């Protein structure tokens, strides 16, 4: 099925939702490039999980600098030559900042963001992946990133709630909200085909995709 009208697709969701694996599979299907946030390259991230209060600001600023650089290169390149599928939306950086920074740090972050964040192209489609907290926890454990193992359910719940609130108000691009509790796009071809079908038939500014157990 044709997805040619989608030249710039963003897959988003909380940690463990499966956004990076879906980004790779969509890009392969569409013959598109990937734009990945590469969280493992952030030298402060592992320290943040051990001492969140101390390392929240440098962790967040490193992500902002890197994502801004990537989007600047994207806007300067030929986005429409092959298409792009990304696993991050820079607009959501403010979500993490508000969740993890104290008031003074957040005020500083807002100033840096205002000066640094590029005018990113508007996605043709944003796919927001949701999942129950127990499913997110299980997926985080399964992927075996050592510094993520100590992530507790409370933080994941607050993060998931922040994503829900963010996308409840999001109107910048067409939005497909996907409940992945009973879907496995990385390993189940039938589930992936269902998603492709929903994408191809999408007509409204906001639609929902939920597969019953």
Q: How many CB atoms lie within 10 A of CB 67?
A: 23
213 pLDDT band (50/70/90 cuts)?
Answer: low
pLDDT of residue 211: 81
pLDDT of residue 169: 93
| 3 state DSSP class of 101 | coil
Give CA 163 to chain center in angstroms: 10
Q: Please report whether residue 66 resides in a domain.
A: yes
Q: In Å, what is the CA distance from 6 to each residue of 9, 13, 68, 200, 202?
A: 6, 19, 22, 9, 11
pLDDT of residue 158: 92
Judge whether residue 176 has pLDDT over 90: yes
Tokens of 4: 């040619």
pLDDT of residue 58: 96
Q: Please report whether residue 2 resides in a domain.
A: no
Please state the domain count of the chain. Answer: 1
CA distance between the termini of the chain: 25
Tokens of 6: 């989608």
Tokens of 116: 């640094």
Mean per-residue pLDDT over the chain, rounded: 89
| Domain residue limits at 78 | 8-210
| 3 state DSSP class of 126 | strand
Tens-digit pLDDT profile for residues 32-88: 999 998 887 899 998 998 888 999 999 999 999 999 888 888 777 665 567 899 999
Q: Please report whether residue 61 resides in a domain.
A: yes
- Name 53's Cβ contacts closer than 8 Å, sequence gap at least 6: none
Q: Please report whether residue 3 resides in a domain.
A: no
Strands 206-210 and 33-35: unpaired
> How many whole angstroms separate alpha carbon 20 and alpha carbon 37?
9
The CATH number covering residue 148 comes to: 3.40.50.300
Tokens of 156: 């994941």
Across residues 6-20, what is the average pLDDT? 93
Judge whether residue 126 has pLDDT over 70: yes
Percent of the chain whose predicted confidence (pLDDT) is above 90 = 57
Contact 120, 20 (CB under 8 A): no
Residue predicted with more confidence, 11 or 117: 11
Query: Comparing C-alpha atoms, which of 208, 206, 212 is closest to residue 195?
Result: 208
Judge whether residue 206 has pLDDT over 70: yes
Q: Please report whether residue 1 resides in a domain.
A: no
Query: Comparing C-alpha atoms, which of 180, 166, 167, 179 is closest to residue 206?
Result: 167
For 145, phi and psi rounded to 5 degrees?
A: -80, 115
Q: pTM higher than 0.85, yes or no?
A: yes
């Amino acid at each position: 099925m044709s997805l040619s009208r989608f030249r710039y697709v963003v897959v988003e969701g909380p940690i463990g939702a499966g956004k990076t694996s879906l980004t790779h599979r969509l890009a392969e299907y569409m013959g598109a490039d990937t734009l990945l946030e590469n969280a493992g390259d952030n030298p402060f991230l592992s320290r943040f999980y051990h001492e969140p209060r101390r390392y929240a600001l440098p962790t967040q600023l490193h992500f902002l600098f890197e994502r801004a650089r990537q989007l600047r290169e994207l806007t300067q390149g030929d986005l429409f030559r092959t298409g792009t599928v990304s696993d991050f939306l820079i607009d959501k950086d403010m979500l993490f900042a508000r969740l993890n920074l104290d008031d003074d740090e957040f005020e500083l972050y807002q100033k840096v963001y205002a000066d640094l964040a590029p005018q990113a192209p508007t996605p043709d489609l944003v796919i927001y992946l949701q999942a129950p907290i127990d499913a997110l926890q299980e997926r985080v454990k399964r992927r075996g990133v050592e510094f993520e193992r100590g992530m507790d359910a409370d933080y994941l719940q607050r993060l998931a709630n922040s994503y829900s609130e963010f996308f409840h108000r999001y109107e910048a691009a067409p939005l497909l909200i996907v409940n992945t509790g009973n879907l496995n796009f990385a390993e189940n071809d039938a589930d992936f085909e269902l998603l492709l079908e929903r994408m191809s038939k999408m007509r409204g500014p906001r639609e929902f995709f939920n597969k019953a157990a």
